Structure 1
Amino acid sequence: MTRSVRRTRRMLPLAGVGVAALLALSACSSSDGSTPAKADSSDSASASPKPKGTVTVFAAASLKETFTTLGKQFEQQHPGTKVEFNFGGSDTLAASITSGAPADVFASASPKTMKIVTDKQDAEGTPATFARNQLEIATLPGNPDKVDSLKDLTDPKLKVVLCDKTVPCGAAAQKVLDASHLKVTPVSYEQDVKSALNKVELKEADASLVYKTDVKAAQGKVAGVEFAESKDAINDYPITLLKESKNAETAKAFIALVQSPEGQKVLTQAGFLQP
């Protein structure tokens, strides 16, 4: 009887130690379980990096005003970012990209010039159409030569300037002229739409075929004459991330702004048509 009691007394301290150990393990387990949950939460928050650094955008000359506006908006929305632009003829820009010029985004004035880039597999993904544009006749302010139709541009007394046929505005102009069986002999072919418009602004030409958006952007320096045939040569404007982009996340964010309701509002206010 005495031995049994002594044995029980010896085991009680050991049992107490065991319970304490179990409680300690339980507390550790509970603590360990909560810590990863917090870590996962912070990891999730950092999974979407904020736009930062410089993004270089190659864009058709006709996008100069709208993209400059969107670039400023982007920089304001994302402090620490900078948007640099290279505006020009879409074909020239495409050739520069395929030759290795550093750029993050390409916005072209036609699918044909965008194809130059996609054929060389320099685009990341499939280009998306974000706007469309339509031709208009630009004349001297007040339209002193009374240009009322596309046919009037065939008058040999009229000094007409056209975009080169290799650039989107020139290709569109040639398309409407061919469809109407009209022949215009220009005094010069220009490498982009802004250069063609500038000839009229400087009164070095009487008229030119440019985009509606360019006439509107000129703010009275030229007059615009609409013509029915222009509806048959409306240009789609595609945009894409470039494969060699050094700042892909920021480039994607800029493209998203262009495609957003906010970006579309800027484009439509400038005279672009919805995609």
Structure 2
Amino acid sequence: MKVVITGANGQLGGALQRTAPADLEINAIDIEDVDLTDDAMLRAYLAVEAPDLLINAAAYTAVDKAEQDEITAQAINADAVAVMAEHECKLVHVSTDFVFDGQSSRAYKPEDARAPISVYGRTKAAGEDHLRDTDLLVRTAWVYEAGGANFVRTMIRLMSDRDELGIVSDQIGSPTWATGLASALWGLIEKGANGAYHHSDAGVASWYDFAVAIAEEAHALGLLDRMPAIEPITTADYPTQAVRPSFSLLDCRETREILGKPAVHWRDNLRLMLKKEASLV
């Protein structure tokens, strides 16, 4: 089976390539291969390549920048998805917790009403609207991977340079290791899943909780020479251009049931990621 993966150089795109079943013909592309803001280029590429399966792991994820660059965010997060959905093959599309407003009192279910509160969230929701009944939508949150550009690696860099950090403690969700997400995607594909699903690692955390765990695990692995002081702050203390959902927990029970695998706690996957990160140093 011929598979095209977009976002080849991203965290998830790389993880999908590393975890792909050996019997698949993988063609992973990124901006230097096909510009997703160019509908004609993308349409021509798919016509020539004619994949049996298309996994869209590409996205405009610069949440704050998107507030002033909605045209590009719309082109990549929505318009390109519309072009992908024109192709006859199955489309697997990865979306985000940002399609919700963060006001729920429980974990968001795949069928819950969306109410995005940022340009990033609105354009990702618009991309979801182009999917067909035979396609697969998987929403995730707080993704990180060894060697990537993400919260974990940013925290390690800042912790190495500073004696004290203030980290937001009133935004709640669950971190997601890209390697685990990739494995879940391949599992859902193997099961022939269609429709909407959620995947994130088990457990609940604030960004503050996540940062404290990063410090502890990184220090234990020798990635940090010392433990910095980490203080909880509020969202109001750290204003950003884009509004973030205050509650991003995703209900992943249907995903775990169809895969038939127990959930892995986010801290266990963080430890695995940091061991890989240590091997890159």
Give the structure with higher Rg (CA).
Answer: 1
TM-score (normalised: structure 1): 0.29
TM-score (normalised: structure 2): 0.28
In terms of fraction of residues, the more strand-rich structure is 1
